[in-house]
Structure formats: C-alpha cells, structure tokens
Structure 1
Amino acid sequence: MSSTTAPPWVIAEMSGSVLWLTLNRPGQRSPLSSQMINALQECLSAAAADSAVRCIVITGSGPAFSAGHDLREMTPQAGESDADCRARMQAILQACSRLMLGITESPKAVIACVQGVATAAGCQLVAACDLAIASEEARFCLPGVNIGAFCTTPLVAVGRNIHRKHAMELALTGDLFDAEDAVRMGLLNRVVPADRLRADTEALAQKIASKSAEGIARGKQAFYQQLNKPLAEAYSTTCEPMIDTMTTADAREGTQAFFDKRQPVWPQG
C-alpha cells in the first residue's frame, strides 16, 4: 500500500470539547513505531495549542491498545554496524521519551481508554496518561524479560504509578495481568464492562472538559513538578502556583458562581 493510500496512524475526532485519538494499526496491534510515535506527538502538540480542545482521550483499535515498540525497529538491521544500530534505537527511545513527557507536560488532561492488551511501551503509554479507564478485557504486561531483554524505559512511567514491588513483578515475570490487578496496583482508575468503556470514558472526559481550562493547566503542571520533591519543598513549590491559579479570571468566575449557586461560565481561550 502506498503512502498516499495508507490509513492515518492516528485518527483524531472531536466530541464536543474532547479530542479522541485512536491508534490506528489494529492489524499490527498498534505498535509504538517511529511513525506512530511521530503521529501521536503531532496530534498532542496541536491539541495543546488548541483552545477548543479541553480534554484528550487516547485509545486503541482492534484487540490491542498498543503492543509497544515495533520489534522490527528494535533489532539490528541487515548490514548495519553496531554503532549505527545503537544510534537508531537511541533516536527511537528518545522520541518515545519525548512523547511520554509531552503527555505529562500537556496543559490538557489526558485519559487512556484501554480496550485491549497494553504491553511494554503500550503499558508505559497508559501509565503516562493522567487517568486511565479499561475494559474488563484489557490486559497489561512488561514482557521484555521474556525475550532476554528488560522493559527499562516503560518502568519509568509504570514505576511512578504503582508500588515498586508491583512494578518489579510486572517486569521480572513478563506475565499478563488483568484489569482488576491493574486497578489494585494503581495503574488504572477503574474497570468497566467492554460495552460501557467508550460511554464511561466519554462521560469522564466531558466532565473534565467542563472545568476551567486554565485551572487544570496550572494545577496539572504544579502537581507533576512537586511529585518527587521532599515534602517541605513540595509545599513550597505549590504555594505560588496555587496563588496564581486563585487570582485568575477563571477562579474569580468559579468563586462567584459558587456563591451564586450556579454553574460557572468559563472565559474562552
């Protein structure tokens, strides 16, 4: 299939103020190949600058949310020197790291809607999102150990979501864990029946989209900045952002609406 007729790597669809991004290689289990990483990064960057987008949902298509890196890209190529192989794989991993950081640094809330299996960097993508909802049919694993490797980069995001012993259990066994286990570990917010996944995720996204965009942008940034700081420094770090947020036009409107016992009308832009 030529590049002119190939389907998009990511399908972007607006639902009100919510942007749905669907990984669109179901036949290949939507790997985070170079093309997929670049396409998803472009969508997220555009959404961050678009005031019409107030919440983002990332989901998959077919039986997998994402199978992680394309192993064909993560192995030596015919005739390739060791130095060239390492440089090429380094570029892929750096692009993937920028993608994961971009989700954390996005001013919009990002929700993972996990309809199928999420493995390796696919599991990392779930962990990088601010919230995650999964179908009862979803499964999660870090399978690098099964092929003589180790999921070191996926563990960065996964290990910041769940207890380290749970993270190491995922990484050391390479086993598939079900969605209920993922909730218990802290990787997911909730599990819902497959036939309710889209509707329940949409309802959550629309609820978030109805809040102050500026408040969420400032608050999300402050939360991630303080997360790994010592307690006293964390409180110090978050004081100024709290003041900044409480003195915005959005906060003035929200406070007045609270006293007026009405829904706030957020300023546009």
Structure 2
Amino acid sequence: MGEIHAIRREQPIVGYELADGVLRLTLQNPPANALSLSMMQLLLDHLATARDDRAVRVIIIDSSLKLFSAGHDLKELTAHRTDPDAGRGFFERTMRLCAELMQAIVRHPRPVIAAVDGLATAAGCQLVASCDLAICTDKSSFCTPGVNIGLFCSTPMVALSRNVSRKQAMEMLLTGETIDASTAREFGLVNRVVPQEYLNQIVRKYAQTIAAKSPLTVRTGKEAFYRQAEMGLAEAYDYATQVMVENMLARDAEEGINAFIEKRRPEWRDE
C-alpha cells in the first residue's frame, strides 16, 4: 500500500486515528453520542480534510460508547424553543447540517464503513444507512422512533428508503419499533452481523481489503454507483459505459490487467 501514514488526534467528541490508509472517526460524545451541531460539524471537517489526503484510502465511523448514536440532541434542540423565532432558525440549521453530513458521506471519494456496536436510533440510524458499508455486532439494534414523540423521522427516511425496501422502511418509520441485528441484516440495512469480540477485526479486514485496491478505481466506482442509481435504465447504461471507457484508459486499469495476465501483484499509482 505504499508509505505508512499514522496520525492520532484526540478530540472531545470525535476521535481521529489514521494508520495504514484507514481513517477511523470515533463518536465519543457521552452519554448517548448525540449528533449535536458541534459533532456534525467536526465530522464534516474531518471528511473534508480526508478528501485531499492521499494517505486516506478508507474511512471507518465507529463509537467508543455502548450506544452508537441516539441521533439528534433533543435537549439542544428544545433549548432553542425560547428563541424569538421559536427555534425555527436553529432547527433549520441543524437539519440542513445533518443533510450536508449525510451527503458528504455518500459523495465522499473514499468508501465509508459504519462499525456498529449498540443502538443506532433516528439520525444515528440515518448515519449508518448513509455509509457505503455497515457491519454490526449481534448486540446491535436500530430504529427510527420519531413517530413515538410526535416527530416523524423524515430526514432519516431519505437514507433508510435508499437502503431497504419501501415496506420495510415504512414499517420502521410508522411503528418506531426497534429491530435487532439479524432483522437489520435481513432488511439490507447492514452487510454483516458479527460477534461483539470480532467487530474490530472484521471491520479492519474489510477496510484493509478495500485500501489495497487502486484508489482511482475505488473512487471512480463509488461515484458511478450512486450517480447511476438516480438515473433511468437507459441513461444509467449510457453513463456507466462512458465511465467504463474512461476507467479502461487509466494507467491503473492498464497496470491491473497486465498484472493479472502476468500473474503478479499490481502497483497502483492512483492515476
């Protein structure tokens, strides 16, 4: 994979560790890892920095707490009901920042993996659904319970409905009930369910496997995946055909094909 690049930064609510091409962003905002305004902004800042850091090949989002994330900070939101506008401005700022964060994950050139051990609820579930891959422990659970408190999970709905079937998404959104890890796997919300003690090992294996690929190819493929998913069938094939041609002309594709024919390991240059 080339040079070893290792950095560790301590942050009050988001841990930062970069080693061997894998950037780990750890949610650590006690007691519930609420996605406060400051936490979402810090995650956005780290994701923006990672876009320009060639040492970053894969990003993992995990948690240091027993709860992956309880979603938005309801106390923070409620405190602004006494604002002159009854909180409208702060509510809009919060929801728009959340939407920006989720789109930053989807549009990020690096694959993002959610490593979940515990409950992911509301916007926390939205965060999991927004990641490219999600691996959870058998102790994990998920829900979109806004309907229970008179606040439909409309923004989590966007990510959720793009990961699971409509009826399964509506089941979660209308009932607000918690689903266990195996049901989340059945719904398609997560890729794998693993024993708690093996979560880090398996997530790391996924990350290292992806990090060993051509960065150019992974970047091209992730962008193409999400763009074609928003198109009609014919348009998607036209677009994917052009992507495939441009990818074939890249140096890494030429190297990878030659290495396959010559039965040797490819040497990627991200070009």
Equivalent in 254, 262, 265 of residue 263 of structure 1: 265
Counterpart of 1:60 in structure 2: which amino acid? S
- Could you list the per-position Cα deviations for residues 110-153 of structure 1 after superposition, in whole angstroms to 9, with x for gaps in the alignment? 00000111000000000000000001111100010111111000
Which residue number corresponds to residue 252 of structure 1? 254
Q: Percent identity?
A: 46
Structure 2 residue runs of 5 or longer lacking an equivalent are: 1-9
How far the C-alpha of 1:228 sits from its partner, in A, is 2.3
CA contact (8 A) 1:73 1:89 kept: no
Code of the residue aligned with 2:119 in structure 1: it is V
- Out of 140, 143, 152, the residue aligned to residue 141 of structure 1 is 143
Query: Aligned AA for 1:8?
Result: P
Q: Which residue, out of 38, 41, 56, partners 1:53?
A: 56
Supply the distance in 1 between the matched residues of 2:180 and 2:208 (Cα, whole angstroms). 27
Q: Which moved more, 1:123-132 or 1:83-92?
A: 83-92
Deviation at 1:15, TM superposition (A): 2.8
After superposition, give the CA deviation of every residue in 1:184-236 in whole Å (9 maximum; x if it has no partner): 00000000000000000000000000001001111111110110211111111
What's the CA shift for 1:62? 1.4
**Residue in 1 aligned with 2:6?**
none
Amino acid at match of 1:16: D
RMSD, aligned α-carbons: 1.4
Paired residue secondary structure (2:151): coil
What amino acid does structure 2 have at the position aligned with 1:54?
R
**Residue 37 of structure 2 is aligned to residue 34 of structure 1:** yes
Query: How far has the Cα of 1:61 moved from its partner?
Result: 1.6
AA of the residue aligned to 1:243: V
TM-score (norm 1): 0.94
8 Å Cα contact 1:136-1:191 kept in structure 2: yes
Q: Does 1:172 align with 2:174?
A: yes
Per-residue CA deviations over 1:149-171 (Å, capped at 9, x if unaligned) read 11000010011000011101111
8 Å CA contact 2:161–2:169 kept in 1: the answer is yes
Alignment of 1:106 with 2:112, yes or no, is: no
CA shift digits 1:66-85 (9 cap, x unpaired): 1100001222536323x351
Cα distance in 1, alignment partners of residues 26 and 65 from structure 2:
10
* Contact map agreement 2:214 2:270 (CA 8 A) in 1: no
Q: In the comparison of the two structures, how many residue pairs are matched? A: 262
TM-score scaled by structure 2?
0.93
After the TM superposition, which segments of 4 or more aligned residues of structure 1 sit over 3 Å from their partners? none
* Unaligned 5+ runs, structure 1: 1-5
The answer to whether the 8 Å contact 1:142/1:175 transfers is yes
Map of 1:63-212 to 2, 5 A cutoff? Answer: 63-75=66-78, 77=80, 79-81=82-84, 83=85, 85-212=87-214
Read off the aligned partner of 1:51 and give its amino acid letter: R
Return the letter of the residue paired with 1:53: V
